[in-house]
Amino acid sequence: MVPKSAEVVIVGAGAIGCSIAYHLTKRGQRDVVVLDRSTIGAGSTSKAAGGIRAQFATDVEIRFSLESIEFFMRFKDEMGAEIRYVQDGYLFVVTNPDTLAKYRRNVAFQNTYGVPSRIISPDEVRELAPGIEIGDVLAGVWCPTDGHATPNDVCMAYAARAREHGARFIEETAVTGMRKQGARTLVETTDGTIDTPLVINASGPNAAPVAHMLGVEIPVRPMRRHIFVTEEFAGIRHPLPLVTDTGSGFYVRSEGRTLLMSPGDAEDVASYDDVPVDWGALEQTVEKGVRRFPILEQAAVRNAWAGLRPLTPDQHAILDWLPGVEGVFAAVGFCGHGFQHSPAAGRFVSEWLLDGAPSLDLAPLSFRRFEGMSADVAPTSVLSGVDR
If you write DSSP's letter for every residue of 239-293 in order, what string do you get?
A: SPPEEEETTT--EEEEETTEEEEE----EE-S-SS-----THHHHHHHHHHHHH-
pLDDT at 192 over 60: yes
The pLDDT confidence band at residue 387, using thresholds 50, 70 and 90, is: very low
pLDDT at 274: 63
CA-based torsion, 43, 48, 54, 55: positive or negative: negative
Q: Which amino acid is at 121?
A: S
pLDDT at 385: 43
Nearest-CA neighbor of 22 among 161, 178, 216, 212? 161
Q: Are strands 301-311 and 221-230 parallel, antiparallel or unpaired?
A: antiparallel
pLDDT at 378 over 80: no
Q: Are 68 and 44 in contact (CB under 8 A)?
A: no
Give mean pLDDT, residues 48-65.
97
pLDDT at 232: 96
- Percent share of the chain, pLDDT over 90: 90
Q: Are 110 and 148 in contact (CB under 8 A)?
A: no
N-term to C-term CA, the chain: 31
| Tens digits of residue pLDDT in 85-135 | 999 999 999 999 999 999 999 999 999 999 999 999 999 999 999 999 999
pLDDT at 382: 54
pLDDT at 319 over 80: yes
If you write DSSP's letter for every residue of 64-94 in order, what string do you get?
A: HHHHHHHHHHTHHHHH------B---EEEEE
pLDDT at 371: 83
Nearest-CA neighbor of 40 among 14, 79, 8? 14
pLDDT at 103: 98
Distance CA 217, CA 238 (A): 46
- Percent share of the chain, pLDDT over 70: 95
Nearest-CA neighbor of 307 among 204, 212, 220? 204
List of residues 6+ apart from 343 with CB closer than 8 A = 19, 67, 68, 71, 72
| Tens digits of residue pLDDT in 331-349 | 999 999 999 999 999 999 9
Distance CA 160, CA 198 (A): 22
| Tens digits of residue pLDDT in 146-191 | 999 999 999 999 999 999 999 999 999 999 999 999 999 999 999 9
List of residues 6+ apart from 137 with CB closer than 8 A = 93, 94, 95, 122, 125
Q: Give rounded-to-5 percent helix, strand, coil for the chain.
A: 30, 25, 45
pLDDT at 270 over 80: no
pLDDT at 269: 73
pLDDT at 380 over 60: no
Show the domains of the chain with their CATH numbers.
Answer: 1-86+145-220+312-388 (3.50.50.60), 87-143+221-305 (3.30.9.10)
pLDDT at 265: 77
Determine which helix (DSSP H) or strand (DSSP E) holds 180, and give its type and residue range.
Answer: strand 175-181
Question: How long a stretch of residues is the chain?
Answer: 388
pLDDT at 215 over 60: yes
Count of CA atoms in the C-beta half-sphere (13 A) of 119: 16
pLDDT at 381 over 70: no
Determine which helix (DSSP H) or strand (DSSP E) holds 179, and give its type and residue range.
Answer: strand 175-181
The pLDDT confidence band at residue 376, using thresholds 50, 70 and 90, is: low
Residue 380 burial by Cβ neighbours in a 10 Å radius (0-12, 13-18, 19+) = exposed
Give mean pLDDT, residues 285-294.
97
